[in-house]
Amino acid sequence: MNQIQITIGEIVRGDREVFPPYLYDAYQSTRRRAPQLALIDVPLTLSELTGPGHAISAITAEDADLTRNAGTDGEAIGQRIILTGRVLDETGAPVPNTLLEIWQTNASGRYLHKRDQWPGPLDPNFLGMGRCLTNAEGVYRFLTIRPGAYPWKNHPNAWRPAHIHFSIFGPTLLSRVVTQMYFPDDPLHSLDPILSSLPAESARQSLIATYDHTITEPEWALGFRWDIVLRGTHATPFETPEVRS
Amino acid sequence: MSTLPLTGSQTVGPFFSLGLLYEEARRNVLTRPETAGEHIRIEGHIFDGDGMPVPDALIEIWQANAYGRYNHPADQSAAPLDPEFTGFGRSGTDEDGHYWFKTIKPGRVAFNAQIQQAPHICVTIFARGLLNHLVTHLYFADEPANAEDVTLLCVPEERRATLLARRADEGGTIVYSFDIVLQGTNETAFFNL
């Protein structure tokens, strides 16, 4: 067993500035779920340089409107927002035609989920999920309502800052990422172990959207911009598969 | 070449089924009756460091078709595409930490011009408490090509068994069992990708 390196509490994946450690003590759920053994360096093969991103089924424009996609003919309650941005790779090239799936609380901070039982009221006109594809320029756009903060049981008086969960595929398995987008100027950011798990201030800032008055539509909705940068295939530890004899 | 900083990863949290397991997003069944290849079931449980099942995990799989070709423009091999197979699956875990897929055993994919990889399925795991997803390969325990798979040989020998799915014939259905241990004894070998 002497080849095994114990890496509890160390950052063990990829870019050490950007990715959180698996074990982050302040976020209690990591304690029994974080791997304890070092991740294994492997060559990049066609398996990693391909991925399902382009093969996901077609979706409709309505899927990107969370204010009206509950199928009730009613509109969700809350501050209406437009959330848009570009999906790029590390070189700044747009990532077209890739699937984004999002989920969030309603305006009161409650998820439509059986395990979310805190007494924030549910909204019958809000599912809290949506999806869209980026266009040829890598641009995505959602219409939704601003989510609320909510309490959780991680530590006494713990509250998650308002956020929207994003799942993005990109062109390969390497580009796959699931993350959370936060809103600017939220005093809960520095109290949140999940956002704080990102080691670099720049990485934490990269998850915070910007209010953009040019996106705001008069008499309609506030605009926020958030760009997403996915891992490409060039900045990887193994550029070309080589056989070690 | 200037590079932009990557967007960091965050956990899927406990409520991801809302956004990732709605009806059209679940992909337990990758096959149709006409899909080429040996039709198999893959199933297993996910366990945490206490040996307890993880009831709020998400597994995605990605694999080549029976001819060893990925349904992706980067795969330019001469092997045919299968119009009845995309190769992507997505399953949640239930209260017992159990997940399952109906798929086919993939063919061998080239590693380079000289050698082939052993048949394998790419596995990605998301869960509450995982600030980054985890990535590994599932290999087939009864497959002789495992002995020469370059990726599998990167895994320390004493940990390779954690990546081998075991075959059983359950009343005519071929089932490969593949448990995933996030932490502790028999911890699954995860890749730095």
Report the CATH number at residue A72. Answer: 2.60.130.10
Q: Domains plus CATH for chain B?
A: 17-181 (2.60.130.10)
**B147 phi, psi to nearest 5 deg:** -65, -20
For residues A37 and A5, is the Cβ–Cβ distance under 8 A? yes
CA dist B160 and B45 (Å) reads 18
Lowest mean pLDDT among A15-19, A155-159, B20-24, B32-36: A15-19
Let me know if residue A128 belongs to a domain: yes
On the question of pLDDT at A14 being above 90, the answer is no
Interface test with chain A among B72, B120, B182, by most A beta carbons within 10 Å: B72
- For residues A115 and A148, membership in a common domain is answered with yes
Q: Which of B154, B183, B189 is nearest residue A34 as measured by Cβ atoms? A: B183
- For residues A11 and A98, membership in a common domain is answered with no
- Angle at CA A98, nearest 5°, toward A92 and A238? 60
Query: Cβ of A241 and B111 within 8 Å?
Result: yes
Let me know if residue A240 belongs to a domain: no
ipTM of model: 0.96
Let me know if residue A241 belongs to a domain: no
Measured in whole angstroms, how far is the alpha carbon of residue A219 from the centre of its chain? Answer: 29
- Whole-prediction pTM value? 0.94
Let me know if residue A36 belongs to a domain: yes
For residues A224 and A216, is the Cβ–Cβ distance under 8 A? no
Let me know if residue A226 belongs to a domain: yes
From residue B35, how far is each of A23, A94, A137 by CA, in Å? 41, 34, 35
The tally of domains found in chain A comes to 2
Distance in angstroms between the alpha carbons of the first and the last residue of chain A: 23
CA dist B193 and B191 (Å) reads 6
- For residues A111 and A54, membership in a common domain is answered with yes
The predicted model gives B143-164 an average pLDDT of 97
Query: Cβ of B156 and A103 within 8 Å?
Result: no
- For residues A79 and A159, membership in a common domain is answered with yes
- For residues A30 and A124, membership in a common domain is answered with no
Determine the structural domain holding residue A33 and report its residue range. Answer: 1-40
On the question of pLDDT at A87 being above 60, the answer is yes
Residue pLDDT, tens place only, B15-48: 999 999 988 899 999 999 999 999 999 999 999 9
Let me know if residue A81 belongs to a domain: yes
- For residues A136 and A33, membership in a common domain is answered with no
Tokens encoding A153: 């049981």
3-class state of residue B116 by DSSP: strand
The predicted model gives B127-150 an average pLDDT of 97
- For residues A56 and A122, membership in a common domain is answered with yes
- For residues A4 and A69, membership in a common domain is answered with no
